[in-house]
Chains A and B, each alone.
Chain A
């Protein structure tokens, strides 16, 4: 008769290598996958944008139309992230702390921008806020249209990153502050907000990354007027269509590097403000 121990499958090593970290298949597979999906395309992009030399790269990105598109994209993205950081936090607060009829419906609606194909978003916005707006609001072909589209597609990020933190937030902390004499305003400022900042930063960073690459929702309603409403992604598309892959790659690289730098910076700030969570 086989003993219970013998009959048990060996949990110490699997096809992907042993679980004590000394195997090579698991990490190897992860590296291969990351390489194919992330690293090779990025390298190709860098190579393509600087293969004509640094000069041609600089010329490409400082071309007035390219420069205007990049600047517009970053400014709009920053503004949108700031607005959604505030509004997203407020919405998360209402969804967690308040009770009202239809709360569950509102909660599931938050994810709509994620679920909707962005081109459908663009079309919907154009119908609602375009020249034939049923509300008489026409923002089409103006910078406001870009803000509107980006606000819509990035709404879920901050809401969904703040919500779980708020749910987990120890209500005792607020009661403790109250028992020590803190009024509601002080509690929000000194207790609640500091605990939400890391989540707001995380959501904000993701929203920003999404903003600078957004294409579908913006392309229809913005009108893509160079120097006015043409964002970087649309400019890149235009360069590709005009058979200027070098120009397109150069602007792409700027977007890539900037969003990377921003993500890392946000993450460092987040770590800095949440270092207290690490045990000694």
Chain B
């Protein structure tokens, strides 16, 4: 089911959570709402769900205006940040809840709940209580519970926020596979750009109650609309007032055209990549990411003088964070480093 958001504004007292936000989410896609905390992304999700009512604007699910429709009648599934398990019910009863309150026949409920528990791989915990599950299992239970009523739209609020790094990565790819199987229109909120890029078809970047940019992960990374998006979706470093990705910096040991001189302050080995922290003559700091073999070939070490050159277009940095346009790239990849 496609979602259309038209000119939605929401205030909480003096705080503006959303300001005239419009967005189209196509049917069957997995979309991430990405932004820092307080950017309005969770509020937007809750408004789609009907858990909040917008002060202005409309929400459409396909051709139906649901702006004033209560959450019970929207046909959505919602997964809460802290899963909101029904603590007094077993895992089975949690998942069955949406079906039993609809008075579905017992055999149908049993079959459906069994399927879902298998789908999320917690069938052996059916008779446990939520307090007896791990975070990841609780999360999957919450997903199964939301899927039980066959929602047309699945909404997830920071679904992996409370999990440790390893489980988070596992669940991410699992969510992606689940979505590929079910093709339910899915929207999830996250403040983690890596998570958004890993899982979603489309990313909606939000900041200060507004949408900054909508696009595929690749689009946002390579063609950010502004400085905020550029620095939010990936690492940046500032070279002579131009924002560039640290992996788009080429390091040479000999002076070259358009290269700036810098001294190596620190070399950090991070496995495949090496982070090189540099200090310019004017005292400004720059850092670069280079593959391990390059760092080894150039024998980079602390105190060494090197020459740094951007290999791609940078974005002119302005003091107020605004955008003044893109600069033309400085040429092809240097032969000395590759």
Contacts and interface: CB of A to CB of B under 8 A. Distances in A.
In this complex, the interface size class of chain B, counting residues with CB under 8 Å from chain A, is 20 to 34
A190 B132 contact: no
Contacts of B128: 280
A55 interface: no
B82 interface: yes
Interface stretch (A29-37, A127-135, A167-175, A242-250): A167-175
Nearest to B87: A276
Nearest to A186: B101
Contacts, number: 82
A180 B80 CA distance: 12
A274 to B, nearest CB: 8
Given A175-B78, A180-B97, A180-B149, A276 B129 contact: yes
Given A177-B86, A178-B71, A280-B128, 9 more contacts: A170-B87, A172-B80, A173-B84, A175-B80, A181-B98, A181-B101, A195-B88, A276-B90, A277-B131
Contact of A176 (B73, B80, B131): B80
A178 B71 CA distance: 6
Which A-B residue pairs are the 7 nearest by beta carbons? A172-B84, A276-B129, A280-B132, A180-B98, A179-B78, A176-B84, A194-B88
Nearest to A173: B84
A179 B51 CA distance: 8
Given A175-B51, A175-B78, A179-B78, A276 B131 contact: yes
30 contacts: A170-B87, A172-B80, A173-B84, A175-B51, A176-B78, A176-B80, A176-B84, A176-B86, A177-B86, A177-B97, A179-B50, A179-B71, A179-B76, A179-B78, A180-B77, A180-B101, A180-B145, A180-B146, A180-B148, A180-B149, A181-B72, A181-B73, A190-B101, A194-B88, A195-B87, A276-B87, A276-B88, A277-B131, A279-B131, A280-B131
Interface in A144-181: 170, 172-173, 175-181
Nearest to A198: B88
B132 A279 contact: yes
